[in-house]
Structure 1
Amino acid sequence: MKHKAILYSDFNCPFCYALEERLVGLRLAPSVEWRGVQHAPQMPVPMQLANLGFAQSIEREVVMVKDLMPEIDIAFPIGKPNTLKAIQYSIAASRHEPLLGLVFRHTLAREFWVNGEDISDEAFIKTVAHQFQFDSLRVDSAAESEADRWQREWQHLGTGSVPTLVRDDGEILMGLQPVEVLKAFFGE
């Protein structure tokens, strides 16, 4: 039996970025409903340079991701952005055009994790949206409400962790998992 799952993910988490790349590579992304959440809502807008301790923490996370998934294209960012606007714009894009919205979201993640762009910057998000001909893309109250609902649902799970996959039968899987574990989780 093939399962579907909800993925609670934050753009500024390297493990989330890597898991989403792995799900795409395994062609499991169509079985996943993405729900963007903020595991660190206190991150500033605009993104600020990380102090030495925080920079070392980010570096450790990226090195761990590279150890778990050497094939991933990922760089060491100079800080971590607040991701609320990126989440809200991703919701709006997916409502407008689901498949293109998915590619838009993946592009935002790559812009941060590969190119170091500040995805808390609404002007930058709109530049990316323009690449997808989403020139009229706006965050409305429905996108804001959906982002709030997803945040509350994730907090209610009580894991405090991203990425978190919740399968359609309630089974939970956290973190960046190996290919075999993901295939088994989805019934592949």
Structure 2
Amino acid sequence: MKDKLKIDIVSDVVCPWCTVGYKHLQKAIEDLNIEDQIEIEWQPFELNPHMPEEGQDLTEHITQKYGSTPEQQKVSRQRLVDAGNNVGFTFDYFDGMRVVNTFNAHVLLEYAKQFGKQTELKMRLTTAFFSERKDVSKEDVLKQALLDVGLNAEEALAKLKDDDARFEVQRNKQYWQNLGVRSVPTVVFNRKEAVTGAQPIEVFKSILKEFTQPKAIKA
């Protein structure tokens, strides 16, 4: 049996372009009808690793981090809303929206991996944050997300206080940073080829074909 194509997606649950990029990748996989040939694993990246527990106002945060004016931010958010609409995802930006710490979410995504529920939980958390105005750093929101995807919430939440589980996430984060990952999404194919950003569907198709279709034999 042919080995599956391993795709690592380095991402954060509050990264909007990660969602758009994943949706493009998903569509490319579906169009090529190769779902059974693909194995996806989500890898941790924190856009704001030092974000305090109370979070920060989104507009204030983007202004501080990138120097963007409120007008520039409005334009870029509309771009995201449109990109989301094109892939069937709702980005609901609102006054008072806050950036939050996502480390605990990454601990739970690592837990979900052993049950084959990583992608499901990732999208549930992303939807909670961007579409449902929920704070994905809060334990009650995390608990509901776990329940929604059919995971043992009590067992999973215990991992948040488990030093080994927390260290594993830090170790994974460091691994990808050491490889040079500085922006997300970064999509890595069989640990051989990588692309960054929300690439168009056709770009993903081209790479997927390279890895999944038999090579032509030269005469």
Considering the TM-score relative to the shorter chain, is it more than 0.5? yes
- Pairing 1:178–2:193 present: no
- Partner amino acid for 2:43? R
| Partner of residue 126, structure 1 | 143
Between the aligned partners of 2:182 and 2:13, the Cα distance in structure 1 is: 15
Of 70-79 and 156-165, the range deviating more from structure 2 = 70-79
Larger radius of gyration: 2
- Pairing 1:84–2:86 present: no
Aligned pairs (5 A) from 1:30-49: 30-49=38-57
Deviation of 1:45 (Å): 1.8
Between the aligned partners of 1:34 and 1:17, the Cα distance in structure 2 is: 12
Which of 102, 123, 128 is the matching residue for 1:106? 123
Deviation of 1:116 (Å): 1.9
CA 160–107 in structure 1, closer or farther in 2 if over 3 Å, else same? same
Q: Secondary structure at the match of 2:14?
A: coil
Q: Secondary structure at the match of 2:10?
A: strand
Aligned pairs (5 A) from 1:134-153: 134-136=152-154, 137=156, 138-139=158-159, 140-153=162-175
| Partner of residue 160, structure 1 | 182
- Pairing 1:11–2:13 present: yes
| Partner of residue 77, structure 2 | 62
Between the aligned partners of 1:169 and 1:35, the Cα distance in structure 2 is: 13
Identity of aligned residues (%): 24
**Contact 1:4–1:186, Cα closer than 8 Å, also in 2:** no
**Contact 2:81–2:92, Cα closer than 8 Å, also in 1:** no
- Partner amino acid for 1:149? R
- Partner amino acid for 2:21? L
Aligned pair count? 186
- Pairing 1:24–2:46 present: no
* CA RMSD, 1 decimal: 2.7
Of 170-179 and 38-47, the range deviating more from structure 2 = 38-47
- Partner amino acid for 1:122? E
CA 52–148 in structure 1, closer or farther in 2 if over 3 Å, else same? closer
- Partner amino acid for 2:103? L
Deviation of 1:106 (Å): 1.2
Provide structure 2 residue ranges, at least 5 long, that are not aligned to the other structure.
64-69, 213-219
Between the aligned partners of 2:54 and 2:132, the Cα distance in structure 1 is: 16
CA 144–68 in structure 1, closer or farther in 2 if over 3 Å, else same? same
- TM superposition score normalised by structure 1: 0.83
Between the aligned partners of 2:75 and 2:167, the Cα distance in structure 1 is: 34
Of 149-158 and 53-62, the range deviating more from structure 2 = 53-62
- TM superposition score normalised by structure 2: 0.72
* Superposed CA offset, 1:102-127 (max 9, x none): 31221011100111211111232112
Deviation of 1:149 (Å): 1.7
